[in-house]
Amino acid sequence: MKIIHSWKGLTPAERGAAVAHGNFDGVHLGHQRVIDDAREAARRLGAPLGVISFEPHARMHFHPEAPPFRLMNPHQLARTVERLGADFLYLLPFGVEMANFTDHDFVGDVLVKGLGVRHVAVGFDTTFGKARTGSPDAMRRYGEEFGFSVSVADAVQNDAVKVSSTAARDALREGRPDVARAIMGRPFAIEGVVQKGRQLGRQLGFPTANVPLGDYVAPRFGVYATRTRLADGRQLDGVANIGVNPTTGEVEPRLEVWLFNFDEDIYGETIETDLIAFLRPEVKFAGGIDALVAQIRLDEQDAKHVLASDR
């Protein structure tokens, strides 16, 4: 898969795709249905499959002061859409120029003149263009005007769970990674570079890999059963704390994951940690370090039990 960061000056080989269009933060089951529609159109037309998303997310452009909210970073997005069969990821820059396109000009300048799209797949609730005036019906009209076909994916019903990025974020903030997983079709995962901390965990017999939360939505602070992928492809079970460490001295919110049966130097490496289950909220232990250590041993057993049933 090729990642393309502009709609300008593309080669003929980079144009002419059947594309899925949207802000694919999380690539949840509804997003996957839009991509499925684009894939079917690509097959029918004999065209490459493209996925259009934006970087930064439009919300980061319009509300830079807002708390972090992302469900995945661009690297995770690229890997996910590649697994779904995309030939191109058009990761278009969202800045002043993009923000000021009317919905008609966005279609004409970006989709048609820039990308040369042959089909556009959108979701039932899609919006686009300045002030979000574009709609699925508008995209259908523009398809007729400019000569590309359009498909509109219906909402996905997943039992009683609403399938949306907002619902996934809400579930994580409530400490319900299982619900976020049902929405996304895979666990929510935090990816980042392992940083050196105070190494207190190592002194206590629980060496942790520390990763800042960065732009990710902050899940409910607490302890989670986890599964972590290392840079070399190994996958390890573990237990993690997300929070500020109130017992040992508060820090910036971060993920601290203890990988079971593992004690190697991975500082500076990029790891990706799935949140499988919420075990308990983060608390300050009145009994200090001894009480914390005793609780970590209990957390270890709880996590191993959960992970053994999640195979």
Query: C-alpha angle with apex 229: 212 to 231, nearest 5 degrees?
Result: 85
Measure the CA–CA gap between 166 and 291, rounded to whole angstroms.
37
Measure the CA–CA gap between 281 and 84, rounded to whole angstroms.
35
CATH number of 2-155: 3.40.50.620
Evaluate if residue 203 carries a pLDDT over 70.
no
Residue 18: strand pairing partners: 49, 119
Lowest mean pLDDT among 2-11, 75-84, 129-138, 200-209: 200-209
Give the pTM: 0.93
DSSP 247-261: TT---SSEEEEEETT
More confident residue, 228 or 263: 228
Lowest mean pLDDT among 107-116, 155-164, 301-310: 155-164
Measure the CA–CA gap between 308 and 223, rounded to whole angstroms.
17
Measure the CA–CA gap between 32 and 84, rounded to whole angstroms.
8
Domain with CATH 3.40.50.620 in the chain: 2-155
Q: Work out the pLDDT band at 101, boundaries 50, 70, 90.
A: very high
pLDDT number for residue 275: 98
pLDDT number for residue 39: 98
Report how far apart the first and last C-alpha atoms of the chain are (Å, whole number).
Answer: 29
Domain with CATH 2.40.30.30 in the chain: 189-308
pLDDT number for residue 291: 82
When the candidates are 2.40.30.30, 3.40.50.2020, 2.60.40.10, 3.30.420.40, the CATH number that belongs to 189-308 is 2.40.30.30
Evaluate if residue 264 carries a pLDDT over 60.
yes
Q: Work out the pLDDT band at 287, boundaries 50, 70, 90.
A: low
Measure the CA–CA gap between 273 and 229, rounded to whole angstroms.
6
169: number of Cβ within 10 Å: 22
pLDDT in tens, 219-259: 999 999 999 999 999 999 999 999 987 655 556 889 999 99
DSSP 160-200: TEE-SHHHHHHHHHTT-HHHHHHHHTS--EEEEE-B----H
pLDDT number for residue 132: 92
Q: What percent of the chain has pLDDT over 70?
A: 95
14 membership: H or E segment, kind and range: none
Evaluate if residue 202 carries a pLDDT over 70.
no
pLDDT number for residue 65: 87
pLDDT in tens, 134-178: 999 999 999 999 999 999 999 888 777 889 999 999 999 999 999
